[in-house]
Amino acid sequence: MRPEVTICECFARDGLQHEPEFVATTDKIALIDAFTTTGFPRIEATSYSHPERVPAFRDASDVLAGISRRPGVWYKATCPNRNAVERALADLAAGRGANEISLLASATEAHTEHNLRTSRAGQWQRIEEMARIAGGRFRLVGVISVALGCPFEGAVDPHRVAEDARRFAALGARLVTIGDTTGLATPSSVRRLFRILREQAPEVSPIAHFHDTRGAALANCLAAFEEGCRHFDSSFGGVGGHPAAIRYGEGHTGNVATEDLVNLLEAEGITTGLDLDRVMAASRLCEQVLKRELDSKVARAGFGGLSRGKMQHA
């Protein structure tokens, strides 16, 4: 059965950036390989962040060299600056690179200054340069952080987010991640933004990237689906958030849990194309690697009455 939605598994990048302890390269490779066999069509594999600022990914090249790739799967690396794109190009030339990279923008001035250490005008100059350097050798994904609320500025104008999405599309990024970075979104604000995106940036396929800081992530995912969104980011066990050395916002900062999202979608009759047994095996592996119980309801309770046979991926 052809999947109705595309889920990108973000544990190995957005998840692990939140961890204070370095996760061994061999463990990262084993995790990504498990995500591949589970049937994820997109996997956020690593980041080319500065190894001193975000030491969790100092082994980015080694991870990409060690994973077992499946044809048709997109393995994404986050690129926060020009140097990161150049590293991605070097790995690609060496036959071990990502085939998809993400370029980062923030929807507000305050978050841009705090997170990217520049202005919004400066960030777009960087992004344009990075897209030019990439030269069409990767599938580009635009990322808009704090698109549904900023911890510094509060509410964000959805028309500004749509304008940023169009700017990404003009640079060749037709997939654009809509980030609820500190979990400020509600279903009504999600519906409004995704409706505006559909109307004002129809050339873009938005990716719903919702954090569960205030317990609304699953409801927000369903609201995005109802407005036509078919791409979702999630992380096993709800792991993730901002890098461990960066703090903004309070409480649980993690992503929507993959196990819980898959359960909700499949229970609503929305096919994910994932293998249910392997989803649960990957969930257990994530807990083994981090040596603790993670924040997924389904990891504890199991999938609610779903047929395992229908969950086999194509």
Please give the Cα distance from 271 to 267 (Å, whole number).
9
Which residue's entry shows tokens 């109705």? 4
Instruction: Determine, yes or no, domain membership for 229.
Output: yes
Q: Report the percent of the chain where pLDDT is more than 70.
A: 93
- Structurally, how many domains does the chain consist of? 1
Domain with 262, as residue range(s), is 6-311
Q: Measured between alpha carbons, how far is 100 from 111 in angstroms, rounded to an integer?
A: 25
Confidence (pTM):
0.94
Mean pLDDT within 186-205: 98
* Cα within 13 Å of Cα(226), Cβ side: 14
Answer whether residue 1 is part of any domain: no
Statement: residue 306 has pLDDT above 70: no
Q: In this structure, what token pair is assigned to residue 66? A: 């060690």
pLDDT (average), residues 127-147: 98
Q: What is the pLDDT of residues 218-233, one digit of tens each?
A: 999 999 999 999 999 9
Q: Is the pLDDT confidence value at 199 over 90?
A: yes
- Answer whether residue 230 is part of any domain: yes
pLDDT value for 253: 66
Q: Got the DSSP string for 266-297?
A: HHTT------HHHHHHHHHHHHHHHTS--S-H
> For residue 160, is it within any domain?
yes
pLDDT tens track for 57-106? 999 999 999 999 999 999 999 999 999 999 999 999 999 999 999 999 99
Residue 212 C-alpha from the chain's centroid: 13
CATH of residue 19: 3.20.20.70
Q: Is residue 188 in a domain? A: yes
- Contact of 244 with 254, CB cutoff 8 Å: no
CA distance 129 to 240: 28
